[in-house]
Structures are given as structure tokens and as C-alpha cells.
Amino acid sequence: MKKWYMVTLVGRDRRGIVAGVTEALFEGRCNLGEASMVRLGGNFATMLMVEFDGDTPALEDMLRPVSGRLGLRCHVDEIEAGLHRHVEPDVRISVYGADRAGIVAEVTGALAEAGLNILNLETDIGGTEGNPIYIMHLDGVAEQGVDTLREVLETLSREKNVEARLVENDLLMG
Amino acid sequence: MTMAVLEILVYPDPRLKEIARPVETVDQATLDFIDDLEETLLAGPAGVGIAAPQVGCLKRIVIVDVSSKPKIPHHGHLVLINPVIVASEGSVVGREGCLSVPDYTGNVARANRITLSAWDKTGTEQVYNMEGFEARAVQHEMDHLEGLLFLDRLVSRRDIFRRKVYQKPGTPASKPS
């Protein structure tokens, strides 16, 4: 009986990681689901839904040769999951400002209190080493309405010295 | 003549990737087809537009009606035959889904304002100036006439952000070098 697993792989970035891992999974008769793969600070980090007719140790064994060859640490979790369970984000929020400790906690804490459920979050540091800029971009669901979130973002902009922008997702179905 | 709800093709049906042919004359068969297309749009899940190729008819006909959206400028119910965008400006990213691509939505950049020329149901050429959501809907539907889906135009979240934050107002999105 096929089960879903979340496979997490982390290691120094190099060419061929995605190709090597997905080939090994294909050879091992796995199906791939949704995935997020990104280079972060020179590391390549992968989270991958894998459907497999076997148990966790068997999947770990399958991945060991390729992760060893590519210098990746590998972690496998059996998950309760399925495809076609997308939740539609209704807001898109961007926040940026001079980088300083606590900025993410302040922003996400205030937004969570105002009813934001984050579906997707990417953050990055731009600028220069002397003047780093923290940049946050997220998609989410405004569970207590968009106006509440707008108020919170205005307060954050005013009090925490960040620039914040909220765009409502006016989904076009055509 | 009774109207019919037509089957909406879903990707990877190859007909969605074909280029549609111009309508030469708006005859009774064309008008009957437009009625069916309308019926199909109304029967579907909250769509604001539909294009003939989505029901397997490779003709340059689309219907757009964004009047259900509150507080936006629009031209009401539009039947656009042989539509052509004669001018466009601005670029805005917005989220789109498609009756022909179930269970997936994504961000797409579209012109914010367009000038559109198209025949109406009497075969008379009309010119429309439109903006925002209605302009987006027309561009989405007209893409179907070129065999393009919103999947052909997805932008990544990082692209959206860079465009929004680092681009000064009034700067074109890209200049030919």
C-alpha cells in the first residue's frame, strides 16, 4: 500500500542534486508530489513529497547511495498527506527594512494575532554587509479579514521602521 | 434551438495549444455557438470569462464579464469576436486560475490598461479602453486564441517582489538593450 513521505535533503549546493535525487526515486518506483527546493546561503535545501510502496527504512536505504554521493543529509518522515489539497491564498504581503534581530518574529507574530495563516514564506537578505536589507514575502489566508491585517501592517510600518505592502489576491478564473 | 452546456477541455488536451482562426462572418451558427459558450460559462465555477478553444472550437471568440466583481470599472457582458489589443501599458501581477487547468493557480503579469478592438455580435467593430481586472480577464481569454495558458506566463514570487520593490514608478518592466 502506497504511503506519502516527506523527504528533506540538505547539503552544499552543486549541479545535479535535483536530477540525482529524482532519478534515484524514479528508479525506486516512487512518485513525486509537491516540492520546494531552494538554494539558501550556498546550501541546497529540498523538501519533497514522495509516494512509496514501502516503509521508512526502505526509503532511507534507497536514498542513502545518492545522498552520500552528493554530500546531502537526508531525513524521511511518513506523513498524512495527499495531492489536490491546495488552499487558495487571499493575500500577498511584502515587508522589508534594515535588517535587525527580531524583525521576523515581530512581523509574523503581529500578523498571526491578526488572523493570518501563512501558506508560503520566503525571506532573503539583500543590500550589503554593512547595510543589510531584510526582505520578506509571503502568501496567506486572512482568517479575520484583510482590514485587520492592513491595520497591523500600518502599525508595524510606523512603529518598527519597516516598509509593508499588502495586495489582495483577486483571483481571476477564466 | 435550445442552448447547451459544452464540455470544457482540460490540459493536456492538445486543442488548448492550437491557434484559433478568425471568424469571417457572424452567421446564425456563430450566434448559436456563442449562446452555448455563454451557457457553458454560466454553468461553470464562478468564471469571469471563457474562450472558444476551451470548448474545442478553434475560432477567435471570447466572452468576458467581470460585472460580478464589486467596485471595479468594467463594460458589463462582452462578446468579443476577432479581438485585437491595439495598445497596452503598465504591468501588474495578479493571481489567475483557469477552467481548463483545475486545482492550480499562479501569478501572472499582465498589462494594466489596454485598448481593444473587436467585433460585437452584429459583426460591428467596437473599441474599448479597459483597465485592471477586466483588462486582465480579456488578456487571459485572448491567450487561449493563441494556444497559450496562464501556465505559459507564470512568474515566480521572487520576480514579483523584485519588480514591485526595486522598480521605480514609471520605469518600464524591461527595456530592449
**Residue among A169, A171, A174 whose CB faces B49 most closely:** A174
Are B64 and B78 a contacting pair, CB within 8 Å? Answer: yes
In this prediction the pTM is 0.86
- pLDDT tens readout for residues B119-164: 999 999 999 999 999 999 999 999 999 999 999 999 976 665 544 4
Contacts of B97 in chain A (CB under 8 A): 171-174
How far apart CA A90 and CA A5 sit, in angstroms, is 28
pLDDT band for position B75 (cuts 50, 70, 90): very high
Contacts of B140 in chain A (CB under 8 A): 172, 174
Fold of A91-168: Alpha-Beta Plaits (3.30.70)
Helices (H) and strands (E) in chain B, counts: 3, 7
- pLDDT tens readout for residues A65-90: 999 999 999 999 999 999 999 999 99
pLDDT at B160: 57
**How large is the average pLDDT for residues A80-106?**
93
pLDDT at A115: 97
pLDDT at B171: 45
Q: What percent of chain B has pLDDT over 70?
A: 88
Helices (H) and strands (E) in chain A, counts: 4, 9
* CATH superfamily, with its number, for domain A3-79: ACT domain (3.30.70.260)
Binding-site residues on chain A for chain B (CB distance < 8 A): 84, 86, 88-89, 92, 94, 96, 120, 122, 124, 135, 137, 139, 165, 169-174
**A3-79 with A91-168: one CATH topology?**
yes
Would you list the domain boundaries of chain A?
A: 3-79, 91-168
Rg from Cα positions in chain B: 16
ipTM, two decimals: 0.85
pLDDT at B164: 45
The hierarchical CATH code for the domain B14-166 is 3.90.45.10
How far apart CA A45 and CA A29 sit, in angstroms, is 23
